[in-house]
Structure 1
Amino acid sequence: MRPAEISFRGDGNSPEFHDVLSEFKRQGCNILVTGRVSETTTNRTTIQLLGATTEERKRVLVFTGTTARYANLKLPTGTTTDDPSVWVIDWGNDERAIVDSISMPTIPQSTSSSDDPLRELRAEIVTAVSFYDEWADGLGSAELRLSLDSLIKPLEQHNQSVVERFIRTITALVRGVSGMAHYHLPLPDDEAIVQELSPLFDARVELRQTDSLVPEQRWHVPRYNQTTNWVRL
């Protein structure tokens, strides 16, 4: 992320983007990441959103679409899954998800409330965040960084309402410790499911790769009804 290069489009009556980003870091935020891009681009985005190694961080990586053996590819240089400040939760499949083959999730008509695995996943995330909050004797602003690699699998296996309840719980947990979390939904930004889930998040980062395959990003911030310009990732 290069905040100096990113600015909101419009008449200038809204806050500057860097001020909004600073507000997110102070108060905590949850970000939805959209767009069908390469795995390399997804990893670069995750690395950036997990924060620089020059600051004290507690990183929680949640895998639902891939397995934890890919975790080190999503961590900043000099950080590994062996570090005590990294907590990995592995709910992924044995086979790597292929973004290009993903179609719009088919939402099931019913789900078992007693065997809902999202309840257990939610509990594991709560355990990780609570542990770091206690270990740090209170996490500082933006110290917690959480990444969820894909919302596709939860949406395929559960009613949308179940996934929304899961998201609400985790986003509230993250805001409660002034952390920053991001959740990948590797679908085009104009898909209906993206628009339906967007109100649950503070911002949306839209990714794209042009014909030159150069990855770009732009931010959507509903609170200010603003969208930034496209910038290189």
Structure 2
Amino acid sequence: MQNRGENSAHSSETAAAFTRTLAGLKRRGSGLLLVGPQPAMGRACERFLGESKTEPRYRLFVKTDGATCHEHQKCEEVGVGSNAGNVKIIERTTHTRSTATVSSTGHDGSDHGIGHGHDDDSETTIVTSGSLARLGITISEAIDEFERESGGLQSGELRVCFDSLVPLLGEHSHESVFRFLHILTARVRNVNGMAHFHLPTEMDSAAVNTLAPVFDAIVEVNMGSGEPVHRWQLVQQDVTTDWLSL
């Protein structure tokens, strides 16, 4: 990212502007790129899913990484919690998994590379196709269902967690993934939802530089003195915060 930290949010004026911007992202909807080592991501992921004790949440988990880390698995358990009926899971299977294994989780949806299953009352959709378009359509359909079930999603009610962009970047060009994310984040913002996407890599990697314009902010996480810390870069404003505890 160019000029990263040039306008570091350390002054009270900038910090106040940063707080206002975050409130606006929650109100209008947002797409966040979560970057850094996988072990530090769990706390940030849990925070982005939002609490559901005082506000209704509709959570959509998109799973592309069959070897999802333990921290992310815990995050999904928190997301499901006692509101399993408000949770949908879309699992994109890797090419190494057999069709028989996929079909065993639900009825055979091979015409479209999709199957369905249920886990603790949360709905799981299996996508066996490697097509980005098919994955995008499946995600959009899940959001459509949430809209119908809720009678209209309110600001911040929809939370989307995309567990890893790594498999997509390994199978498709950066430009193709960019177009996919551009459409997907626009769909989430259209219902004032908040989506975050895990990308366990370095902040200055080619993938981050290519994909950054799609997102409202890039959230870099790390382990500081044994505890996870994070800092935000607001893409449009080119403002970067100091490191903050999670």
Q: Considering the TM-score relative to the shorter chain, is it more than 0.5?
A: yes
The structural deviation recorded for 1:74 is 1.4
Q: In structure 1, the residue corresponding to 2:147 is in which secondary structure?
A: helix
Q: Residue 88 of structure 1 aligns with which residue?
A: 89
Aligned pairs for 1:1-233 within 5 A:
8-9=9-10, 12=13, 15-38=16-39, 41-54=40-53, 55-66=55-66, 73-75=74-76, 77=78, 79-80=80-81, 83-93=84-94, 116-210=130-224, 212-233=225-246
Task: Give me the whole-angstrom Cα distance separating, in 1, the residues matched to 2:185 and 2:232.
Answer: 18
* Distance in 1 between residues matched to 2:88 and 2:82, nearest whole Å: 7
Contact kept in structure 2, 1:66 and 1:94, CA below 8 Å: no
Amino acid at match of 1:73: K
CA offsets, 1:128-159, max 9 Å, x none?
Answer: 10100111111000100001001000000011
Decide which structure has the larger Cα Rg and report it: 2
CA contact (8 A) 2:60 2:88 kept: yes
Deviations 1:161-194 (A, max 9, x none): 2111110111010010000000011001111221
> What's 1:109 paired with?
none
Bigger proportion of residues as strand: 2
* Structural RMSD (CA): 2.6
SS at match of 1:24: helix
List runs of 5+ in structure 1 lacking aligned partners.
1-6, 96-114
CA offsets, 1:198-228, max 9 Å, x none?
1110001000113x32211000002222111
| Change over 3 Å in CA distance of 1:152–1:123 after alignment to 2 | same
**TM-score, normalization by structure 1:** 0.79
The 3 A distance-change label for structure 1 pair 122 and 16 is same
Aligned length: 205
SS in 2 for 1:75: helix
Q: What fraction of aligned residue pairs are identical, expressed as a percent?
A: 33
| Change in CA separation of 1:69 and 1:94 when aligned onto 2, cut-off 3 Å | farther
Change (3 A) 1:156 1:192: same
Taking a change above 3 Å as real, the CA distance of residues 202 and 139 of structure 1, as seen in their structure-2 partners, is same
Question: 1:217 aligns to what SS in structure 2?
Answer: strand
Change in CA separation of 1:127 and 1:190 when aligned onto 2, cut-off 3 Å? same
Unpaired runs of 5+ in structure 2?
1-7, 97-128
Cα separation, 1, equivalents of 2:154 and 2:143: 13
Q: What TM-score results when the alignment is normalised by the length of structure 2?
A: 0.75
Partner of 1:100: none
Residue deviations 1:56-76, cap 9 Å, x none? Answer: 100000001136897751136
